[in-house]
Amino acid sequence: MAGSEKIVFCTGGGCTAKLGAGVLSRILEKLPRGEQDPNLLVGYDSKDDAAVYRITDELAFVQTVDFFPPMVDDPYTFGQIAAANALSDIYAMGGEVKTALNLVCFPESMDLNVLGEILRGGAEKVAEAGGSLAGGHSIADTGVKYGLSVTGLVDPRRMTANDTGRPGDKLLLTKALGVGLICTANRVGEAAPDQMEGAIRSMTTLNKTAAEIAHKYEVHAATDVTGFSFLGHLHEMMGDKLSCVINAHAVPVLPGAWEAADACLYTAAGQRNRNHTGPFVRFENVPFPMEEILFDPQTSGGLLLAAAPQDAAALEQELRAAGLPAAIVGEILEKQTTEITVNY
């Protein structure tokens, strides 16, 4: 945007700005529950991607909200990424995007053209998702933050919760990991331009196509991989009742992420992820950079799907044919002593 003011990079930008999973759990468990509503199929106590409320036996609405500070300098790109990240929760639940509301925090002293570009980027992603931008809310703040509140629809009989996988299911990941590491490397001038461009392409890609393809197959559970990292969201998928084995060599990784991890350019959020999820993980001959990639907080990450074993290969093939770097990365097992085993 020629002649415009650049957004000053926030060290906690994107999904690295999330509160740690452990802290958040301790807060939420103390909240009053109120009277239980049988139509609230998914609520905040489920650690899922969005809330789901049943209207009829065949229709439920899906609600989610997500916003954060910028992790890139270009306002338009930031708007796209923030919107794609918020919309992703609807796709993770198996839903269809219907409406969105803007959430904006913006300094009164900053050029309003910057805000216009952020909102333009977000609006274009809502339109690409097939939704309607229906309004929003803004407040004056000391820093820039942007995101969306999104409502979608889903057939409650076909929604994909995150903890309903079954032993034998294959685990598929639809986007490459490493955006947190690459953004950190970029901030200190250690990421090549093409590496940052690759991370931006990944973050601005909607999970719409992946979700539509997955809907054709028998998928028992799904989540989107964001700030709690691949392993953190995988831990939530196990739900204290399942275990899994991951082939780290099969996990797609963005160019530049390995080098950033090897140079110790990881984030505080990544270390919080390791501290919270690490006790549930056993690594077997996994190089340290790969461990860091698996704990790396993702912004607008891909879907992690638990697919029936007879469908997994065809699902992977169709996702790849659509241009997505999808891969079968593991398998769900009956509950074992170690929840997540990662080999290489």
Residues with catalytic roles: 15
| Secondary structure percentages of the chain, helix, strand, coil, to 5 | 40, 25, 35
Which pair of tokens denotes residue 122? 């977000």
How many angstroms separate the CA atoms of 298 and 180, rounded?
A: 6
Q: Is 315 exposed, middle or buried (0-12, 13-18, 19+ CB in 10 A)?
A: buried
Q: From CA 155, how far away is CA 144, in angstroms rounded?
A: 36
Q: Compute CA distances 257 → 195, 278, 282, 295, whole Å.
A: 8, 20, 22, 12
Q: How far apart are CA 287 and CA 249, in angstroms?
A: 10
The length of the chain is 344
Axis crossing angle, helix 179-187 with helix 268-277, rounded to the nearest 10: 150
Residue 84: C-alpha distances to residues 14, 53, 63, 343 (Å): 12, 23, 15, 31
Distance CA 300, CA 21 (A): 17
What are the E-state strand segments in 290-339?
303-307, 327-334
Amino acid at 58: E
CA dist., res. 24 & res. 276, Å (int): 11
CA gap 163, 332 in Å, rounded: 11
HSE of 262 in the Cβ direction (CA atoms, 13 Å)?
A: 7
Residue 103 contacts residue 29 (beta carbons within 8 Å): no
